[in-house]
Structure 1
Amino acid sequence: MGQSAYIRLVDASTTQTVQLQDIKDKFHRYIDMTTKTGNQLDWGYAEAAFPYTLVEKPEGKDHWFYLKGSNPLYKYIVVGVGTDQANQAEGGEQAEESQFIQVVLPDGATHGDKSKANEFCKYLAKEFKAQLDLFNGRRMYYYPRKP
Structure 2
Amino acid sequence: MGKSAFIHLVEESVQQTISLKEVHDLLNYYQEITSKTGEQLDWSYNSHAFPYLVTEKNDDNGNYLHLRGTDPNYQHLLVGVGSTKGSTDDQEQFFIQITLPEASTHGDKNKGNELAKFFAKKLEGKLHLFNDRIMYYYKRKLS
TM bin, normalised by shorter chain, reads over 0.9
Offset, 1:95: 2.8
Whose Rg is larger?
A: 1
Cα contact 2:66–2:78 (8 A) shared by 1: yes
Q: For residue 106 of structure 2, what is the aligned residue in structure 1?
A: 111
Query: For 2:68 and 2:58, how far apart are their aligned partners in 1?
Result: 16
From 125, 137, 140, give the equivalent of 1:142: 137
Matched pairs, number: 142
Q: Deviations over 1:73-116 (max 9, x none)?
A: 0001000000111111xxxxx43211111100000100000000
Q: For residue 91 of structure 1, what is the aligned residue in structure 2?
A: none
Offset, 1:57: 2.2
Q: For residue 93 of structure 2, what is the aligned residue in structure 1?
A: 98
Query: For 1:116 and 1:60, how far apart are their aligned partners in 2?
Result: 26
Runs of 4 or more off by more than 3 Å in structure 1? Answer: none
Using the size of structure 1 for normalisation, the TM-score is: 0.92
Q: Where does structure 1 lack aligned partners over 5 or more consecutive residues?
A: 89-93
Q: How do residues 8-23 of structure 1 correspond to structure 2 at under 5 angstroms? A: 8-23=8-23
Offset, 1:59: 2.8
Query: For 2:96 and 2:105, how far apart are their aligned partners in 1?
Result: 21
Query: For 1:112 and 1:146, how far apart are their aligned partners in 2?
Result: 36
Q: For residue 70 of structure 1, what is the aligned residue in structure 2?
A: 70
- Among all aligned residue pairs of Structure 1 and Structure 2, give the percentage whose two residues are the same amino acid: 45
Distance 1:32 1:43, change over 3 A: same
Query: In angstroms, what is the RMSD of aligned CA positions?
Result: 1.6
Using the size of structure 2 for normalisation, the TM-score is: 0.94
